[in-house]
Amino acid sequence: MKKANRVIRDHWKVQYKNPGYPHVQQGWVLPPDRMSEYDPFILMADDWFKRGTFSDHPHRGFQTITYVIDGRLEHTDNQGGHSVLHAGDVQYMNAGSGARHAEEAVDEDVIHTLQLWLNLPKSLKQTKSSYQNVLLEDAPVVELAGGSLRVYSGSAEGVTGPMDSLVPINMFEIYLRAGERYSLELPANQNGHVYMLQGEMTFGSEEAGSVTLGKTEAGLLSYDESAEEDKTDVLEITSQERSRVLIYTGKPIGEPVVARGPFVMNTEGEIEEAFEDYRRGRYGPSSQ
């Protein structure tokens, strides 16, 4: 039986602004005012910044997945954690009941990152905060006929990525040479999106409908929320030139979402509590 084809249900080119030194440039890959369309994802930011932009700050109620495009990203947290990530590396953070950390450029670097916010269900919002670095060389690569598939999280082509997120997701990076095609199998009930890092790719099939996206364009994927857990469908990808794309999918949580500042909870009352706990020092000492 032929599997159903995914299509791009909406797409846009990311618009950038210059917030002011040391935050050099910022754009919303997934704008926060449309978060109800992304469940379980909340927002995704594309940032260029120098040291001092994301110094010590708190989080509660969600997870972050930070992909380094260029530069060196220094992470410190008030659990004593410290690391420096390079291009192609990813950091996963579970903020849970309360995290306090800093994400800084090293020395005089201008760091370029993509940060995705991944929601937590109510049952996991009070879990202990934790961090995991997924280095470029630790994410398995599947060689394709026309390129390669790197698996940071989830499974594809019989391999599983090392990211151990509380809310399971797929995170893939696909590289294709010009004129090549690839069919990516995905869980049919998972919502998701694509973000173009390089080149130009066409997503979808001729019969289902296709959309061509170029560098810094994002696309939301169709999905079937009622599909059974083991059912899969296919995203057809054709590369018009040498191209790279990030693809993320996850199962919707289906709960109310209230996001304000660095906190993501289910109610306004829980947001107020998160701010009050921070004012009272309940997130612990500074991370720096």
Say if residue 178's pLDDT is above 90.
yes
Answer for the pair 220, 9: CB distance below 8 angstroms, yes or no.
yes
Residue-level pLDDT at 205: 87
Spell out the residues 6+ positions from residue 279 whose beta carbon is closer than 8 angstroms to its own: none
The full set of domains in the chain, from first to last, is 8-250 (2.60.120.10)
User: Is the pLDDT reported for residue 101 higher than 60?
Assistant: yes
The pLDDT assigned to 207 comes to 83
**For residue 59, what pLDDT is reported?**
96
Structure token digits, residue 70: 């260029």
173: confidence class by pLDDT, cuts 50, 70, 90: very high
Q: Which pLDDT score is estimated for 1?
A: 56
Mean residue pLDDT across the chain: 96
Q: What is the 3-state secondary structure (H, E, C) of 4-56?
A: CECCEEEEEECCEECCECCEEEEEEEECHHHHHHCCCEEEEEEEEECCCCEEE
CA–CA dist 20, 243 (Å, integer): 31
Q: Give residue-wise pLDDT tens across range 218-263.
A: 999 999 999 999 999 999 999 999 999 999 999 999 999 999 999 9
Q: Which run of H or of E encompasses 58?
A: strand 54-59
From residue 116, alpha-carbon distances to 161, 229, 287 in Å are 17, 24, 21
pTM (two decimals): 0.96
Q: Examine residue 162 and say whether the peptide bond preceding it is cis (omega within 30 degrees of 0).
A: no
Amino acid at 30: L
How is residue 212 written in tokens? 């061509």
Mean pLDDT for the stretch of residues 33-61: 97
pLDDT for the residue numbered 134: 98
